[in-house]
Each structure stands twice: as C-alpha cells, then as structure tokens.
Amino acid sequence: MRVLTLDLETRKLARDLNPEDEDMGWDALRRGEGGISAIVIYDTDTQFCHMYDDHTIQAAARHLEMGQVLVTHTGVRFDIPTIEGVLGRNLRLPYHFDIYAEVSNALLARGLTAGLGDMKLDRMARQNLGRGKTCNGALVTDLIRKGQWGRLFSYCAEDVRLTRDLFAKMCADGGLISLNGQFLSLDIPEWIHGAVGITR
C-alpha cells in the first residue's frame, strides 16, 4: 500500500495577512494568499521525504494524487485547502486520514469536548511516541527571512516523520492515548492496517 504523509509551511503567517483579525488571516492562508515555503511528502514507495514549494506545486499535486492513503495532522482544515488555494484547483486525493480530525470526532462522539484545541502534533506525539518537536513553528518566518531553507525543510520533514509514526502507532494499537492519559480507540478501516509497515 502506498501511503503518503504530508506537512507544509506557508511563506507568511495568519497575523501577517491580517494583523487585526487572525481568524481572517487563517482564511487567507487557506485561500493560498500566504504562499507555501515548504511541502514535504514522505512516500512509503521510496521511503524518502520528497520536498516541494509553491514554485513546484504542480509536481507536488501530481505526487499527492498518486498515493492510496494520504496521512496528515490537521490536513483537512489547513494543508489541503492551502495547497488547493495556491494550485488553483481541487486535488484528486486518495483516501485521506487526518489524525486530528479522527481523534476530534472520536472525542466528540463520546461527549468529550474539553481540550480539543490542545491536540497539537507536538503534544500528541509526546503522549504516544515519547518524543516531540525539537523546534517551534514560530521560527518559520525567521528562517524564511534569513533564507535558511535547509533548516526550514528539516523542520517540516520532522513534522512529517512525527505524523507518519503517530499514524503507524495508531494503526498498530487501534487508537491513541488522548491528552488526559486514557486510551482512545479509533475506528480505523480494516484495509488500512497494511499501512503499519511504514519503516523508520
């Protein structure tokens, strides 16, 4: 099974696009108005992180459309709309498994709404993998301003590896440990369990 794991960084932040209303800034980012400085796609076929930006967006789109499963963390509400905004068309995606969306839906189904906004990749990874990010996303604009593209892509690739490994653990265990320390079983389609073969 060909599984693609995606993360991206924009060229601008929400507050850059609308300093007075950050929510409107996020909407502008999803329309593609903030550009994309880094796209990283881990591909189980090549076992390699492939790197793109908004100058190579067509190649990134073709890559995303070749997989059987796409894995993201908040990709439904951010990464995919942002790519489509810059691309100018909808992506023809494979099965999309968004970890944040799946965990949120499972918590909501159990009537647990407290802390939904806290389920950031770093916290989920630390809870389930025992490791998290080594860098802060707030540094992204500084890396762009200084032209430190290597560090930027390394940061984005680190997020991709965390997302990939979180997904593999979720498939292997049938769920994840939520932020309150309790195991949260998730409804993972049976056919998708083949994706556990992701290697580090």
Per-residue pLDDT 10s for the chain (200 aa) are: 899 999 999 998 888 899 889 889 999 999 999 999 999 999 999 999 999 999 999 999 999 999 999 999 999 999 999 999 999 999 999 899 999 999 988 888 877 665 555 789 999 999 999 999 877 766 887 888 888 999 999 999 999 999 999 999 999 999 999 888 888 888 888 777 655 554 44
- 155 within a domain of the structure (yes/no): yes
- 200 within a domain of the structure (yes/no): no
List residues bridging with 97 in a β-sheet: 71
Are the C-beta atoms of residues 37 and 154 closer than 8 Å to each other? no
Containing domain of residue 169, as a range? 3-191
- 78 within a domain of the structure (yes/no): yes
- 162 within a domain of the structure (yes/no): yes
- 197 within a domain of the structure (yes/no): no
DSSP letter (8 states) at residue 89: S
Half-sphere exposure of 94 (CA within 13 A, CB side): 20
Element (H, E) at 176: strand 175-177
Which residue reads 């991709």 in tokens? Answer: 160
- Read off the pTM: 0.91
- 45 within a domain of the structure (yes/no): yes
- 163 within a domain of the structure (yes/no): yes
Q: Specify the CATH number for the domain of residue 17.
A: 3.30.420.10
Q: How many domains does the chain have?
A: 1
- 198 within a domain of the structure (yes/no): no
Are the C-beta atoms of residues 133 and 159 closer than 8 Å to each other? yes
